[in-house]
Amino acid sequence: MQTSRARPFKEYKEVQREKGADPDIQLVCNDSNIFKWTALIKGPSETPFEGGVFQLAFAIPEQYPLQPPQVRLLTKIFHPNVHFKTGEICLDILKNAWSPAWTLQSVCRAIIALMAHPEPDSPLNCDSEKNEIPSIPPGYRKRAKLYSVVHMRTIILHPP
């Protein structure tokens, strides 16, 4: 059990030391459980998510970093690679492309990149996938922006 806590504690210390170093990501460890984290990430610029702040929940397995964390978006977004109801994120590094070199911070950065550049080969939100891929028509952007504005109010009014 001691070794399973070593990596999360290392990342916790690093986050504390570099607090504010990345203005797009705020990682917070649960006070009573090193295996539960939350993050606030800023929506990438020049996307429907620009100006928004999105909350993530991390559940770290005891085999971390040999196994990836389970991550889901708590803030609802309209995106082809995010399941609208559950917040599940379809991202290769959270599945078969995981490497112990990834950290919670770098996972947040990858999710921000996915928000800006959807992956058409692995849609979870089939309605979004039909509207967005391959050409990203204006209807997708408007709907994604609307969802961001509506669901952002919850995060702004009730921060973690």
Tell me what the mean pLDDT of segment 122-146 comes to. Answer: 56
Catalytic residue among 29, 90, 108, 126: 90
Confidence of residue 84 (pLDDT cuts 50, 70, 90): confident
Residue 158 identity: H
- Cα 57 to Cα 111, 114, 124, 131: the distances in Å are 12, 16, 18, 27
What is the overall mean pLDDT for the chain? Answer: 83
E strand intervals along the chain: 25-30, 33-42, 53-59, 70-73
| CATH superfamily to which 2-157 belongs | Ubiquitin Conjugating Enzyme (3.10.110.10)
Is 108 in the active site?
A: no
pTM of the entire predicted model: 0.81
* Beta-carbon contacts of residue 147 (< 8 Å; ≥ 6 apart): 76, 77, 78
pLDDT tens profile 58-82 = 999 999 999 999 999 999 988 889 9
| Percent of the chain whose predicted confidence (pLDDT) is above 90 | 57
Residue 160, pLDDT above cutoff 80: no
**pLDDT (mean) for 103-121:** 92
